[in-house]
Chain A
Amino acid sequence: KQEVTQIPAALSVPEGENLVLNCSFTDSAIYNLQWFRQDPGKGLTSLLLIQSSQREQTSGRLNASLDKSSGRSTLYIAASQPGDSATYLCAVSGNTDKLIFGTGTRLQVFP
């Protein structure tokens, strides 16, 4: 059974810092991994999708990497801003045809 873990559960950093969020999964037989952002009480915003054959994806200040064999993904946020404050979720899809979500990392960036 696929299990997804995110570390740390919460993170508080000053504006301008570069930071790394971690996601690990137990079953390496995945089709893809997706990173989302969720603001309080809101839906999920897709940030990056990495297919199983890819090693990384970039969008603006965000870079996500995937190491399928070791069951790990990282989301790198460069030059963090207060507007980046949110909960970040990773999710994997495999042959069960559904997304399995991690518990999220709650990020606070203070001025």
Chain B
Amino acid sequence: KAGVTQTPRYLIKTRGQQVTLSCSPISGHRSVSWYQQTPGQGLQFLFEYFSETQRNKGNFPGRFSGRQFSNSRSEMNVSTLELGDSALYLCASSLLGTSGNEQFFGPGTRLTVL
């Protein structure tokens, strides 16, 4: 069974630009969550999607948005990039969601904002 895949693996953008990251969950998994990892803040929850609906959202500004498609693939978008958005963005998939279900993470997308 293929694991969680994320594309692209690396991105370099400049301030003010926007970026779209993609995550394909494990086949059969319906929940996709996104996390941001930085050296200063550690791993922080961005949002979770289940069956194309956002079920939960973390404490991030509205510049961060996402969506999920009918095949459970998810995209995350960050608009008007800031230097502080430089981070490793990780997505996790699970069968039904965080509660009681094992989370499987992808390799991440390393975003650098110049």
A99 proximity list for chain B (CB < 8 A): 33, 35, 43, 45, 92, 98, 103
Judging by beta carbons under 8 Å apart, are A98 and B56 in contact? Answer: yes
Cβ of B66 under 8 Å from chain A: no
Known: A42-B108, A99-B103. A93 touches B98 (CB 8 A): yes
- Please report the C-alpha to C-alpha distance between residue A91 and residue B45 in the assembled complex, in whole angstroms: 12
B55 proximity list for chain A (CB < 8 A): 97
Q: Which of B6, B43, B56 has a CB less than 8 Å from the CB of A101?
A: B43
- Please report the C-alpha to C-alpha distance between residue A44 and residue B35 in the assembled complex, in whole angstroms: 11
A49 proximity list for chain B (CB < 8 A): 102
**Which of chain A's residues 93-111 have a Cβ closer than 8 Å to chain B?**
93-104
- Please report the C-alpha to C-alpha distance between residue A3 and residue B6 in the assembled complex, in whole angstroms: 28
Known: A98-B48, A98-B56. A51 touches B105 (CB 8 A): no
Q: How large is the interface on B (under 10, 10 to 19, 20 to 34, 35 or more residues)?
A: 20 to 34
Interface of B is mostly: strand
B105 proximity list for chain A (CB < 8 A): 36, 43-46
Q: How many residues of A contact B (CB 8 A)?
A: 26
Residue-by-residue, is A61-82 near B (CB-CB < 8 Å gives 1, otherwise 0)?
Answer: 0000000000000000000000
Judging by beta carbons under 8 Å apart, are A43 and B107 in contact? Answer: yes
Interfacial residues, chain A to chain B (CB-CB below 8 A):
31-32, 34, 36, 41-46, 49, 51, 89, 91, 93-104
Given A44-B92, A98-B56, A98-B98, 16 further pairs, Cβ under 8 A: A31-B98, A31-B99, A31-B100, A34-B103, A41-B110, A43-B105, A43-B106, A44-B90, A45-B105, A46-B104, A91-B103, A97-B55, A97-B97, A99-B45, A99-B98, A103-B42
A-B residue pairs in contact (CB < 8 Å), sample of 30: A31-B100, A32-B100, A36-B105, A41-B110, A43-B4, A43-B90, A43-B105, A43-B107, A43-B108, A44-B92, A44-B105, A45-B105, A46-B104, A91-B43, A91-B103, A93-B100, A97-B48, A97-B97, A97-B98, A98-B33, A98-B48, A98-B56, A98-B98, A99-B33, A99-B92, A101-B42, A101-B43, A102-B42, A103-B42, A104-B42
